[in-house]
Amino acid sequence: MKIATFNINGIKARIEALPEWLAAAEPDVVLLQEIKSVDESFPRAVFEDAGWVLETHGQKGFNGVAILSRLPLEDVVRGLPGDDEDLQARWIEATVVGKRAVRVCGLYLPNGNPAPGPKYDYKLAWMARMQARAEALLALEEPLVLAGDYNVIPQAEDAARPELWTEDALFLPETRAAFRRLVNLGLTDAFRARQPAPGQYSFWDYQAGAWEKNNGIRIDHLLLSPQAADLLLDARIDKEVRAGDKPSDHVPVWIELDA
């Protein structure tokens, strides 16, 4: 089972590029972030006519997450539990029914800037809620994948120029500590488990020639439960997607599971 995460930075802006990548990469499941569309205006037919099962949790103009799957989806949950007043569309989860059932959670973690401030407080509170949800799902002792745009640079080697990020919410010590608490529940960073070398990134700013200079950061992650980590075959970043027409500022990251 090939599972990918991809922050597409607007489904309508990427309506030609995304189907091209899907046809070339042939993933079984794709967790999308920043669809920037309400559910009713998502271009469903483009994907459903091509055989995809589609579940969305959208929001007008920003945020929004979705799941595309070649396999059946069951028990879909929209919204991260823990705060009934939080209306931002940043979390969707479902069980993918393949050779083995795998629970997938697609997430778009808050950016948190400027920090300190209310946006950063929201980011840390959201991460605490995510940790609580992860603990509940891990208790089921089933294959679990938490995938998406985490807006977290875990370590200095995950940035081409870490000195530029020391005051940014993505790299502040409190952010990285919250990420470590999540991983320390028993999760595996799938990409690092298979690709430990530095210099590999999933995001490049549109400005200042960041792509051409490879001045990137790795903020798109797939974290695996022990049961999913046991099934891990490979993990990669599709960096060449960034070079296409109308690219997102992110590129897909994917894993292959024996499931």
Domain count, the chain: 1
Q: Give the pLDDT of residue 170.
A: 98
Over residues 185-208, mean pLDDT: 95
Contact indicator for 174, 153 with CB cutoff of 8 Å:
no
User: What is the average pLDDT across 142-151?
Assistant: 98
**122 belongs to the catalytic site:** no
Residue 151, annotated as binding a ligand: yes
pLDDT at 71 over 80: yes
Which residue range forms the structural domain that includes residue 251?
Answer: 2-257
Q: What is the CATH number of the domain that holds 6?
A: 3.60.10.10
- pLDDT tens digit sequence for 93-117: 999 999 999 999 999 999 999 999 9
Q: Is 221 annotated as a binding residue?
A: no
Confidence of residue 246 (pLDDT cuts 50, 70, 90): confident
Would you say 149 is a known binding-site residue? yes
Judge whether 84 counts as a catalytic residue. Answer: no
Q: Is 57 a catalytic residue?
A: no
The single residue of 28, 57, 120, 149 carrying the catalytic annotation is 149
Number of C-beta neighbours around residue 150 at 10 A:
26
User: 28, 57, 108, 168: which one is catalytic?
Assistant: 108
